[in-house]
Amino acid sequence: MREAAVEILAFGVQADERPLLETALRERQLSGRCLEVFLNRDTAPLAAGHEAVTVSVNARLDAEVLRTLAAGGTRMIAQRATGFNNIALDVADELGMTVARVSAYSPYSVAEFAWALTMALNRHVPRAVRRTREFDFRLDGLMGRDMHGRTAGVVGTGRIGAAFARIAHGFGMRLLGWDLAPDPDCEQLGMEYVGLDRLLQDADVVSLHVPLVPDTHHLIGRAALDAMKDDALLINTSRGGLVDTEALVDQLRRGRFAGVGLDVYEAEAGVFFTDRSLDVVQDDVLARLMTFGNVLVTSHQAFWTHDAVSRIVDTTVTNLEDYVAGRLSANVLVGPGRPAPRPPAER
Catalytic residue, chosen from 17, 51, 266, 268, is 268
Measure the N-to-C terminal CA separation of the chain; round to a whole number of Å: 34
- Give catalytic status of residue 174 as yes or no: no
Residue partners of 50: CB distance under 8 A and separation at least 6: 7, 8, 9, 72, 73, 74
Between CA 211 and CA 318 the distance in angstroms is 24
Task: Give the count of beta carbons closer than 10 Å to the beta carbon of residue 298.
Answer: 18
Write 268-277 long-range contacts (CB < 8 A, 24+).
268/58, 268/240, 268/300, 269/58, 269/60, 269/86, 270/38, 270/40, 270/58, 270/60, 272/58, 272/299, 272/300, 273/12, 273/14, 273/38, 273/56, 273/58, 273/299, 273/300, 274/38
How far, in Å, CA of 261 to CA of 235, rounded?
5
Alpha carbon of residue 135 to chain centroid: 36
Determine whether 80 is an active site residue: no
Phi-psi region of 41 (alpha: psi -120 to 50; beta: other; left: phi over 0): alpha
Nearest to 37 by CA among 6, 60, 21, 20: 60
* Choice among 101, 239, 288, 347 that is catalytic: 239
Instruction: Give the integer Cα–Cα distance in Å for 187 and 286.
Output: 37
DSSP string, 75-124: -EEEESSS--TTB-HHHHHHTT-EEE------HHHHHHHHHHHHHHHHTT
Q: Which of 3, 6, 91 is nearest to 54 (CA)?
A: 6
Residues acting as catalytic residues: 239, 268
